[in-house]
């Protein structure tokens, strides 16, 4: 059984004991429903530190009322087994009451990198993320914390808040884990029907197509437009965005050839399931 704590006090006691013994601590915050992507972050943590704490908390404040908070998959016992096998030392699985006590009234927000892309498509999302991640990092006080590049914009938001709030932690991005056909692993892939799952492989293929088109000198705006049309043809019913942006600032690129450091970002819908992905250009 993986050691599990559910309160800030218990978490702090465990981490403080490790630190007092001179051990480095990595944290891997998750919303559970773990897959190989999460587990690769745990292994990355283990490569950088002596101890890895994973957290599982499906954070209500980063879902809008019409989004999938209730439906979001939860399977703690299975998750705990996977984490233990991946080398995780401690699971922190707080209750909503532990995270948001009565009278809770504080929020952390980040301007700039949180504004385009998912910041436009999901207006309350990054406020919820910034607040809960600030809390998790302050609660655990790890030396390093690891977040997947699959949620690349989230990674940039978290790097910014950790720097700005002087949190004594190094934020590290872990590469996106992909299925055999290139689809980025995501807990939300479980929502897909068999037919939708086949169509979904067009998402990474389209991003690769954009990268090749840009390498061949196609202007950014043309490559974006062509890719959006491809996704609709493949069977995606809505594309929230498919945009090439600067990989650090998320600034929009000009319509001409892509600049160095660019990254292509996509969010698109298959039925009621929203999938996101991104790749370095």
Using the contact rule CB under 8 A, the part of the chain among 30-38, 62-70, 75-83, 128-136 near a copy of itself is 128-136
Which CB atom, from 8 or from 221, has the smaller least distance to a copy of itself? 8
Catalytic residue status for 35: no
Catalytic residue among 35, 38, 124, 125: 38
CB 271 within 8 A of CB 237: yes
Q: C-beta of 18: minimal distance to a copy of itself in Å?
A: 16
Rounded distance between C-alpha atoms, residue 264 and residue 138, angstroms: 32
Examine residue 93 and tell whether it contacts a copy of itself (CB under 8 A): no
Is residue 19 close enough to count as binding a copy of itself by CB under 8 A? no
Q: Which of residues 132-191 bind a copy of itself (CB under 8 A)?
A: 134-135, 138-139, 160-161, 163-168
- The residues, ordered by sequence, that sit 6+ positions from 65 with a Cβ below 8 Å of its Cβ are none
109 near a copy of itself, rule: CB under 8 A: yes
Residue 184: Cβ-neighbour burial (10 angstroms; 0-12, 13-18, 19+) = buried
| 3-state secondary structure (DSSP) of residue 7 | coil
Distance CA 84, CA 109 (A): 33
CB of 170 to a copy of itself, least distance (A): 14
Map residue 261 onto helix, strand or coil.
coil
Determine the size of the site formed for a copy of itself (CB under 8 A): 27
Question: Which residue is associated with the tokens 């934020």?
Answer: 171
Contact positions vs a copy of itself (CB under 8 A): 8, 12, 101, 103-113, 130, 134-135, 138-139, 160-161, 163-168
Query: Known catalytic residues?
Result: 38
């Amino acid at each position: 059984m993986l050691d599990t704590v559910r309160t800030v006090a218990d978490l702090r006691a465990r981490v403080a004991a490790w630190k007092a013994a001179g051990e480095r601590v990595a944290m891997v915050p998750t919303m559970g429903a773990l897959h190989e992507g999460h587990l690769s972050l745990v292994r990355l943590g283990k490569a950088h530190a002596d101890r890895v704490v994973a957290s599982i908390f499906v954070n209500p404040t980063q879902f809008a009322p019409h989004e999938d908070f209730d439906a979001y998959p939860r399977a703690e016992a299975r998750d705990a087994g996977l984490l233990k096998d991946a080398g995780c030392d401690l699971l922190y699985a707080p209750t909503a009451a532990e995270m948001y006590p009565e009278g809770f009234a504080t929020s952390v927000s980040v301007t700039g990198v949180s504004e385009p892309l998912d910041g436009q498509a999901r207006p309350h999302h990054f406020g919820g993320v910034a607040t809960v991640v600030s809390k998790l990092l302050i609660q655990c006080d790890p030396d390093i914390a690891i977040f997947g590049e699959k949620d690349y914009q989230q990674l940039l938001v978290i790097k910014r808040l950790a720097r700005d709030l002087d949190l004594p932690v190094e934020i590290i991005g872990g590469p996106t884990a992909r299925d055999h056909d290139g689809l980025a692993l995501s807990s939300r892939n479980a929502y897909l029907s068999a037919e939708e799952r086949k169509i979904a492989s067009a998402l990474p293929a389209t991003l690769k197509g954009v990268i090749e088109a840009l390498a061949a000198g196609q202007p950014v705006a043309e490559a974006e437009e062509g890719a959006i049309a491809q996704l609709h043809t493949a069977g995606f019913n809505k594309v929230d965005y498919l945009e090439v942006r600067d990989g650090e600032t998320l600034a929009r690129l000009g319509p001409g050839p892509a600049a160095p450091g660019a990254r292509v970002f996509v969010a698109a819908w298959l039925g009621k399931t929203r999938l996101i992905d991104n790749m370095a250009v």
